[in-house]
């Protein structure tokens, strides 16, 4: 796509918007026609906020973020109304057997805290997933059970910065799965750190360094599935770090994938936006684009919290 082609930009935005309405979170599935209605309504609503077509990255990020939120709210409302936690659950999601009632999990007694009997069913859902993750990292048996117990406690522990427990974050039950998975990741790291600190002896399993490789980037330590991050999250966390032109560049090349590098090199208008002189040769343009892309990617790498 030419970066100046608003029609293709809107089509790509629509595609992403519909996908978010269809699957606002992994494990939730909305009927196709319903997703069309939601996506159309969201795009119309958000378009009203702009007098002219905003930059592609900004518009797309906002559209899919608000579509995802609105769809999750809609699912939660319908589940509550029909008292059916399984409503709109993706039948192909085999990670666990059945959704629990999130409202009951989130209901807290002022004195006793989270005591609803629904909590008794939660370990059955989360344990297999957590133990599988911990096993891949070399934490097994009783150690894995201890780590898993810590993660359940952490779900209801009030955080210092927000004064709310993590269990209150999800809108639909399916969001609890990736939330708990992240807690498991961090508790596993803590387990390795504690073990390295307490025992002045060679590790019996894989060392923490061996697991992380790059100590600044814990990404390698996460599940393979977890390294997929939605664009709206990337944009939200890195929005200030990149200039509008840098966003347009990485969005066009990698996010929407609507233009190749060669397309951009041949696009005089886009090259002019990048500050490349009109008469510059193809190799000069390629070099300038490469430098700008690397700079933009480096900023995202530094700012993104994996």
Partner 1 sequence: MDLELSANLHATRDLLMRSLVVHPEQAPAIPAGLASDLAARFSPRVMRTVVTAPLSWPEKVRAFLSMPAFGAVAAAVVVLGVAVPMMSGPSAETFRGDLPVAQANAVRIIFTADRPEIRAAVEASATFESSALCSMDRSAADTLAGPKVIVDLTSSTITAIDRDGATLHRAAAPTDPGKVADAIALAVSSL
CA 104-107-112 angle, to 5 degrees, is 120
Q: Determine the 3-state secondary structure of 113 from DSSP.
A: strand
Where does this chain touch partner 1 (CB under 8 A) — which range of 52-60, 73-81, 172-180, 268-276?
Answer: 52-60
The minimum distance between CB 223 and partner 1, in angstroms, equals: 14
The minimum distance between CB 228 and partner 1, in angstroms, equals: 5
Q: Which residue has the tokens 């390294």?
A: 227
Among 108, 179, 189, 261, binds partner 1 (CB under 8 A): 261
| 249 contributes a contact to partner 1 by CB under 8 A | no
Judged by CB, which is closer to partner 1: 20, or 187?
Answer: 20
Q: Which residue has the tokens 């992240």?
A: 182
CB 170 within 8 A of CB 179: yes
Among 136, 262, 268, 281, binds partner 1 (CB under 8 A): 262
User: What is the Cα–Cα distance from 23 to 26, expressed in whole angstroms?
Assistant: 6
The minimum distance between CB 255 and partner 1, in angstroms, equals: 5
Using CB under 8 A as the criterion, what x/- string covers residues 263-302 for binding partner 1?
-----------------------x--xx--xx--xx-xx-
Sequence-separated contacts (24+) of 2-5 with Cβ below 8 Å: 2/259, 2/263, 2/267, 2/270, 3/56, 3/248, 3/252, 3/259, 3/264, 3/267, 3/269, 3/270, 3/273, 4/269, 4/270
User: What is the Cα–Cα distance from 9 to 47, expressed in whole angstroms?
Assistant: 13
User: What is the Cα–Cα distance from 131 to 96, expressed in whole angstroms?
Assistant: 13
Where does this chain touch partner 1 (CB under 8 A) — which range of 13-21, 123-131, 154-162, 266-274?
Answer: 13-21
Among 108, 129, 241, 304, binds partner 1 (CB under 8 A): 304
Q: Which of 305, 194, 149 is nearest to 157 (CA)?
A: 149
Binding to partner 1, residues 176-235 (CB under 8 A): 219, 227-231, 234
Query: Which residues in this chain contact partner 1 in the complex, by CB under 8 A?
Result: 6-7, 10-12, 14-16, 18-19, 22-23, 32, 36, 40, 43-44, 47, 50, 52-53, 60, 64, 219, 227-231, 234, 250, 253-257, 260-262, 286, 289-290, 293-294, 297-298, 300-301, 304
């Amino acid at each position: 796509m030419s970066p100046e082609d608003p029609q293709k930009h809107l089509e790509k935005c629509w595609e992403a918007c519909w996908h978010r309405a269809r699957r606002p979170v992994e494990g939730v599935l909305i009927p196709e026609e319903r997703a069309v209605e939601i996506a159309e309504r969201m795009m119309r609503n958000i378009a009203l906020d702009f007098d002219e077509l905003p930059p592609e990255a900004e518009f797309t990020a906002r559209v899919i973020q608000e579509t995802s939120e609105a769809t999750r709210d809609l699912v939660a409302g319908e589940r509550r109304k029909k008292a059916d936690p399984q409503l709109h659950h993706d039948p192909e999601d085999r990670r666990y057997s059945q959704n629990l009632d999130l409202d009951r999990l989130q209901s807290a007694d002022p004195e006793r805290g989270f005591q609803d009997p629904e909590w008794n069913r939660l370990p059955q859902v989360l344990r297999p997933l957590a133990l599988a993750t911990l096993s891949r990292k070399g934490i097994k048996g009783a150690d894995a059970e201890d780590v898993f117990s810590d993660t359940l406690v952490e779900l209801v522990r009030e955080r210092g910065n927000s004064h709310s427990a993590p269990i209150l974050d999800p809108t639909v039950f399916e969001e609890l799965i990736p939330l708990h998975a992240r807690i498991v990741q961090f508790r596993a790291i803590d387990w390795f750190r504690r073990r390295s600190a307490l025992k002045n002896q060679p590790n019996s399993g894989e060392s923490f360094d061996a697991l992380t490789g790059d100590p600044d980037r814990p990404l390698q330590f996460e599940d393979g599935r977890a390294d997929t991050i939605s664009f709206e999250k990337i944009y939200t966390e890195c929005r200030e770090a990149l200039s509008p032109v840098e966003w347009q560049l990485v969005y066009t090349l990698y996010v929407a994938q609507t233009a190749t590098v060669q397309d951009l090199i041949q696009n005089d208008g886009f090259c002019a936006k990048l500050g490349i002189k009109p008469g510059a040769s193809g190799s000069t343009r390629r070099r300038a684009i490469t430098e700008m892309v690397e700079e933009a990617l480096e900023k995202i790498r530094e700012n993104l919290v994996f």
